[in-house]
Amino acid sequence: MRLPVTTEQFLTEYWQQQHLFCPQALPHFQSPITAEELAGLAMESDIDSRMIWQDSGVWHQQTGPFAEHAFQGEMPWTLLVQGVDRYHPGVSSLRNTLPPLPRWRFDDVMVSFAKDHAGVGPHFDRYDVFLLQGTGRREWRIGPYCDDETPQLQENGLNLIPPFEPAESYVLEPGDVLYVPPGVAHWGLALGEAITYSLGFRAPSVGDLMGRRTDAALELIPTTSLLEDGASLRSPSRPGEITIEHIANARDAINNALDALDSGQWFGEVITEGDGEPDHPYPVAALQGEQVSLHPTTRIAWREREDIIDVFIDGDHCEVPLNALGHLIALCSGEWILRRELAGTSEKLFEALCEAGALTDEDGA
């Protein structure tokens, strides 16, 4: 993806801060999916899809699966299909065009098809998104920064914000990209029929991280570890009183214990966990092709320690020798590698990936 600023500038001045219009970020871009294929996916019961339209000033939303006649509605409607990268290798490979951001921050690719004049209304999202124009043209209006205090209009399951005075607007053509940070109001209106790819990111909740770090430490802390008073009793308290020093002493004890017992493993587990069971069981016996790559839905992350690599696959942890690093990086970059070579030189990694059903040998791109 070609950005109009350097990667360093993007990461320091734009990412999670302000929107960025990137004309012809993907020159000569050809939409990997057609409107008909997208409609086909929206007819499947296990694929998450929605249709949104406005009628007499009221917003409507209906969830899929849809029957053929649903696409004949007269009002300008938008069809949105979530996680299309799971089902379509061409769409899945779009993630490899993103600027160098941690792989574990990526969530999925939502694809929308909008009829002329359709849009999903003015709103803000909680996550970062790169909006890539696939076919047709779309006008994106960018509004103010919003948060939980911003008044929202709830209509048929949609959270909309009152029409805003757009601070800026851009007309996107195929291959153009608009980066929108969390909280920034936006509203896209199709100028003719249009397909838009939303390359969306995810972020773990701080509450989840806190809970998991604490749980991990609680498993290790001896029950005999008791609060020591240290210097906290040096200034006397009144009968029955809790002083600032008492609380500060307890906080210090907790923080010190958390730091001392923290291996950091909880982090890799949390960020690679999905919402439920991983949906790509791909038994090793089924891998017949010469080349393998990561299954598009595999959540994987790793960290290098002195003489070992911690690998996290769909929330599970394993350790592999350092010599697997090259293969690991290649796989995480979306590359295909020879199955025999992977199994031969990075045996433990290969086994762990097979056990997790994390590999595929089908290149449908």
Q: Does 196 bind ligand SIN (CB under 6 A)?
A: yes
- Which of residues 49, 92, 133, 198 is near ligand SIN by CB under 6 A? 198
Q: What is the DSSP string of 33-61?
A: S-HHHHHHHHTSTTS-EEEEEEETTEEEE
Candidates 49, 54, 92, 112; binder of ligand SIN (CB under 6 A) is 112
Q: Helices 206-220 and 244-260: crossing angle, nearest 10°?
A: 80
Distance CA 210, CA 203 (A): 14
Of 78, 249, 297, 346, the one binding ligand SIN by CB under 6 A: 78
If the CB atoms of residues 91 and 114 are measured against ligand SIN, the closer one turns out to be 114
Instruction: Say which entry of ligand SIN, Co ion, none residue 196 contacts (CB below 5 to 8 A, set by partner kind).
Output: ligand SIN
Indicate the residue among 80 and 300 with the shorter CB distance to Co ion. 80
C-alpha to C-alpha distance for 274 and 301, rounded to whole angstroms: 13
Binding site for Co ion (CB under 5 A): 125
Q: How many residues bind ligand SIN (CB under 6 A)?
A: 10
- Closest CB 120 distance from ligand SIN, rounded Å: 5
Interatomic CA distance for residues 321 and 11, integer angstroms: 32
Name the binder of 346 from Co ion, ligand SIN, none, CB < 5-8 A by kind.
Answer: none
Using Cβ positions, the residue closest to ligand SIN within the complex turns out to be 112
Residue 114 to residues 94, 118, 176, 177, Cα–Cα distance (Å): 20, 6, 17, 17
| Separation between Cα atoms, residue 94 and residue 327, nearest integer Å | 21
Q: Which of the listed partners (Co ion, ligand SIN, none) does 112 bind, with a CB threshold of 5 to 8 Å by partner kind? A: ligand SIN
**Vertex 51 angle, CA 49 and 56, to 5°:** 165
Site map (CB under 6 A) of ligand SIN, residues 262-281, x = contact: --------------------
Tell me which residue has tokens 């914000």. Answer: 161
Q: Which does 82 bind (CB under 5 to 8 A by kind): ligand SIN, Co ion, none?
A: none
Query: What secondary structure letter does DSSP report for 146?
Result: -
| 85 part of the interface to ligand SIN, by CB under 6 A | no
Q: Does 188 bind ligand SIN (CB under 6 A)?
A: yes
Closer Cβ to ligand SIN, 181 or 188, answer by number = 188
Q: How many angstroms separate the CA atoms of 111 and 276, rounded?
A: 22
* CB-based burial label for 198 (10 Å; 0-12, 13-18, 19+): buried
- Positions in the binding site for ligand SIN (CB under 6 A): 78, 112, 114, 120, 125, 129, 186, 188, 196, 198
